[in-house]
Structure 1
Amino acid sequence: MYIPKYFKIDDEEIIYDFIEKYSFATVFSQHNGEPYATHLPLILNKDEPALYGHFARPNEQWKDVGNQQVLVVFQGPHCYISPSWYETAKAVPTWNYVSIHVYGKMEIIEDRKAILDSLNDMVNKYESPDSPYNLHELEPGFIEGMSKGIVAFKINITKIEAKAKLSQNHPVERQELVIKQLENSSNQDNKQIASLMKKNLLK
Structure 2
Amino acid sequence: MYIPKHFQLNDQELIDDMIKEYSFATLISQHDGAPFATHLPLLFNKDDQCLYGHFARANKQWQDITNQQVLVIFQGPHSYISPSWQSETNDVPTWNYISIHIYGTVDLIKDEETVKDILTSSVTKYENPNSGYHLRNLDPNYLRGMQKGIVTIKINITKMEAKAKLGQNDTIEQQKQIINGLENTLEENNQKVAELMKRVLGFS
TM-score of the superposed pair, with normalisation by structure 2: 0.97
- 1:181 aligns with 181
Deviations 1:104-132 (A, max 9, x none): 00111111111111101100100111111
- 2:21 aligns with 21
For 2:109, the aligned partner's letter is I
Instruction: Say if 2:200 is the partner of 1:190.
Output: no
How far 1:7 moved relative to its partner? 1.1
- 1:57 aligns with 57
How far 1:41 moved relative to its partner? 0.4
After TM superposition, the structure 1 = structure 2 runs for residues 151-166 of structure 1, keeping only pairs within 5 Å, are 151-166=151-166
- 1:98 aligns with 98
How far 1:5 moved relative to its partner? 1.4
How far 1:137 moved relative to its partner? 1.6
CA distance in 2, matches of 1:174, 1:81: 11
CA distance in 2, matches of 1:98, 1:137: 38
Deviations 1:129-186 (A, max 9, x none): 1111111121110000000000000000000011111011000000111111110001
Task: Structure 2: state its 5+ residue gaps.
Answer: none
CA distance in 2, matches of 1:65, 1:164: 29
- 1:33 aligns with 33
How far 1:12 moved relative to its partner? 1.8
Structure 1 outlier segments of 4+, above 6 Å:
none
- 2:131 aligns with 131
- 2:148 aligns with 148
CA distance in 2, matches of 1:67, 1:47: 23
How far 1:6 moved relative to its partner? 1.4
CA distance in 1, matches of 2:101, 2:196: 19
Determine what percentage of the aligned residue pairs are the same residue: 57
For 1:32, the aligned partner's letter is D
TM-score of the superposed pair, with normalisation by structure 1: 0.97
Deviations 1:5-64 (A, max 9, x none): 111111222211110010000000000000000000000111111000000000000000
CA distance in 2, matches of 1:36, 1:202: 39
For 1:177, the aligned partner's letter is Q
Task: Structure 1: state its 5+ residue gaps.
Answer: none
How far 1:83 moved relative to its partner? 1.6
CA distance in 2, matches of 1:143, 1:177: 53
- 2:172 aligns with 172
Moved more, 180-189 or 77-86: 77-86
Q: CA RMSD, aligned part only?
A: 1.0
- Indicate the SS of the match to 1:180: helix
CA distance in 1, matches of 2:86, 2:78: 19
CA distance in 1, matches of 2:188, 2:196: 12
CA distance in 2, matches of 1:165, 1:189: 14
Instruction: Say if 2:40 is the partner of 1:43.
Output: no
